Amino acid sequence: MHQENKNRETKKVNQNIKPLNTKRNEKGNLEISGVDLVELAKTYKTPLYVMDEVTLRQMAQDYKDAFSKYEKTRILFASKALMTKSIAKIFSNFGFGFDVVSMGEIYTLLSSGIGLSKVSFNGNNKSIEEIEYAIDNNIDHFSVDNFLELKLINDSAKKKNKVQKIHLRITPGIECHTHEYIKTGQIDSKFGFDLPKVDSALELILKEYKNLNLVGLHAHIGSQIFEKDVYSDEISVLLKEIKRLNDKFNINLNEINIGGGLGVTYVEEDNPYSVFDIADTVIKSIKDNCAKLNLEYPLLYIEPGRSLVCSSGFSLYTIGSIKTIEGIRKYVAIDGGMADNPRPSMYQAKYSAEIANNKKNAKKETLTIAGKFCESGDILIKDIELDEAKQGDILCVYDTGAYCYSMSSNYNRILKPAMVLINQGKVDTIIKRQTLEQLIENDVLLDRLK
């Protein structure tokens, strides 16, 4: 797949499995950004989420550089991938906006001193409370997903004497070769207006919903995408639809949001295009389609999530029990698993890993990395070749910056891990490890049961 990528001398960040500056130090331990991972695990305990700031900033810079050729670009970080106050502040300082899908994500931004002037509110079932909270805090625009939402936003804006900017999210009918659960652009999707229903939405906006200001269209075609032509297809659909709507309704839609979805390299066989490849494809498609359709260049929104944070993140675990089934499999259990990384259990996600301890001259063996949770399906990595493992070793699992913390849980009432940010030998906690007291703070023991 994409042989030209494999021939490049220098891979870009989203094409790397490991963070930048990963090496074995003089002790033989894994080291990233000047931090010894074995010592890091001792100090901050495991399981531990780790984000490398150097890699994170380089990926953000790659996006800025890649799309700098198209001046009318706004980059929105897809917050669902990893929303913490410090991570949000880093991206805000790069000039990025945010794609949010909940009141909690909005609150995190506001609590970080980040306003909503560069924020798009996405999602297929926004509550009245969420809509009013966003409008009260001056959200830039909503990406509207359905007819009910059109009414709810209009009613809320009218009540507050505001005119609210919106995009319409459409389903472009484009399918990517990715997992069924992370496809979003095909016709059979819970997201967006089907194309035959867009005219009905426009008629409502123009005739009845006077507190809505429709300025553009939004589409999203999936996640972990290893193709680039699908972006050309998506842009073609969006711009043709804008041309048709502008002509039919005598309006001037001039914004498009193409979502995100750029793939990253979890395992060696993954071979995504770089953000520079995708940017070239996107920009060329916009210019070609606008020339054909006699349209002005639109304001372009992109929503990278996974590709911005995944490669900079990794997780550290301590190896515990080991079980060998002769002729079948060797299980190595870690002190985490499906509660801190549910992706393998949910949709068979694959990961790369390495034992962080000095393993010079250790023999290789095929291992299955099992979690500690009370589920047979709690398998983090199946049949991976690693150095011979022993109890107490530290396992480093790469590319956990996206969707691991965001999707984590307290299953089996196990505490959520801490997260640290490393940068050239410096370590800072950006999420504290959950305590037992915090675990039960919302529990209520009824007086009549005491």
Angle between helix axes 85-93 and 53-66 (nearest 10 degrees) is 40
Residues 6+ positions from 25 with CB-CB distance below 8 Å: 31, 36
Strand residue runs (E) in 1-160: 22-24, 30-32, 35-36, 48-52, 73-78, 97-100, 119-121, 141-144
Listing DSSP states for 370-404 in one string gives E-SSS-TT-EEEEEEEEEPP-TTPEEEEE--SSST
What is the distance between the alpha carbons of residues 93 and 76, in angstroms, rounded to a whole number?
Answer: 13
**314 SS3 class:** strand
The CA distance from 417 to 438, in Å, is 13
Question: Do 303 and 225 touch, CB atoms closer than 8 A?
Answer: no
Report the distance separating Cα 299 and Cα 281, nearest Å: 16
Tell me the residue type at 266: Y
Q: Which of 176, 374, 396, 404 is catalytic?
A: 374
176 included as an active-site residue: no
Q: Which residues are catalytic?
A: 374
